[in-house]
Amino acid sequence: MAATTSKTNLLGLERPELEKFFGTLDAKPFHARQVMQWMYQRGVADFDSMTDLGKPLRTRLTECAEISLPAVLGDQLSADGTRKWLLGMDEFNSIETVFIPEDERGTLCISSQVGCAMNCSFCATGKQGFNRNLTSAEIIAQVCVAQRVLGAARPITNVVFMGMGEPLANYRNVLPVLRILLDDFGYGLSKRRVTVSTSGLVPNLDKLARDCDVALAVSLHAPDDALRNALVPINQVHPLAELMAACRRYVANKDRSHVHVTFEYVMLEGVNDSLAQARELAVLVRDIPCKVNLIPFNSFPGTRYRRSPQAMIDRFGEYLWSRGIVTITRRTRGEDIDAACGQLAGQVQDRIHRAERRPSSTEALA
């Protein structure tokens, strides 16, 4: 996000906060709701263009507030229609946001951090290191930018927190964005069309269960602790038994009893793709309402992993189906522009200079 003056950036303020701000201007709460609609539903960032606001209020807003969007540093279009933007967050750092068009929907994959501290061994983002959390304004601004570029002809119907960073490690700033996405005066999305993905930060997963009703995806990638410790180091802080218990609690919530957890499982040749591991996975998730999303590994420079052969992916998935577990193989999108799952890198000035290690408890609960 570009450097700003002392003006208040209205992006990222959920409705009660925005109404409180308008109260300081001696304006009414409905004025805040009007501005939310202008910002999020109409994509307008100029107060003078908000014609249903009185001119004195528009003048006051111009003096003390702003709607600040990041600079678009790059815009790439894949042969399959996937689009990726490089957005400048500050002088040294940038993040990537991806739009995936399909016949019946348009999914925007947004980032929550500059880099990532989770250090998953198969992910390009983790190899870039970690700089900082994104603010709520910087997170929701990704949706605003995409909406402006795509226009009404290509609406955003789904938003997934599957870009750069671990969303639950930036819980304080992610939660207001979730509420804006669901708010009728914000983007008005269905709770089933907003998905938070986590590598397994159990305390904040429990907070999410209490604070906001959205779809949940868990980056699992291994059926046992020994392997998951190597692939997803946060497992050393919150092992599988603890994570599975949290998933059960999430779906047991009275408002969420009809939903399921999506378990994401990247397919790595000779690492986690054997039939024996499919059996272990089936046992691990058998009492959790769920589906399994098999993700063909997407390569990046310097990785030691290879994608499982399609025959092995099919065999793995067929076994899970035979055990009554809904299983889908994700279609790889945007690979030609490094926009596929696990490939987002952006530009990160790493400030933790980590070696191969597990994330600390401080990083896990930032």
Which amino acids are annotated catalytic?
A: 96, 341
Handedness of CA 18, 19, 25, 31 (dihedral sign): positive
List beta partners, residue 263: 218, 292
Dihedral of CA atoms 310, 311, 315, 316 in degrees, nearest 10, equals: -30
Q: Are 322 and 285 in contact (CB under 8 A)?
A: no
Continuous segment of H or E residues that includes residue 282: helix 275-285
Q: How far is CA 174 from the centre of its chain?
A: 9
DSSP assignment of 175-224: HHHHHHHH-TTTT---GGGEEEEES--HHHHHHHHHH---EEEEE---SS
Distance CA 223, CA 232 (A): 12
Q: Are 242 and 207 in contact (CB under 8 A)?
A: no
DSSP assignment of 287-305: TS-EEEEEEE----TT---
Dihedral of CA atoms 189, 96, 353, 300 in degrees, nearest 10, equals: 110
Q: Are 128 and 345 in contact (CB under 8 A)?
A: yes
Neighbour order of strands in the sheet with 71-77: 71-77, 83-88, 94-101, 106-109, 158-161, 194-198, 215-219, 261-267, 290-296, 326-329
**DSSP conformational letter for 327:** E
Q: Are 149 and 75 in contact (CB under 8 A)?
A: yes
The torsion angles phi and psi of 328, rounded to 5 degrees, stand at -125, 140
Q: How far is CA 186 from the centre of its chain?
A: 18
Q: Which two tokens stand for residue 76?
A: 């790439």
| Residue labelled with tokens 């992916």 | 313
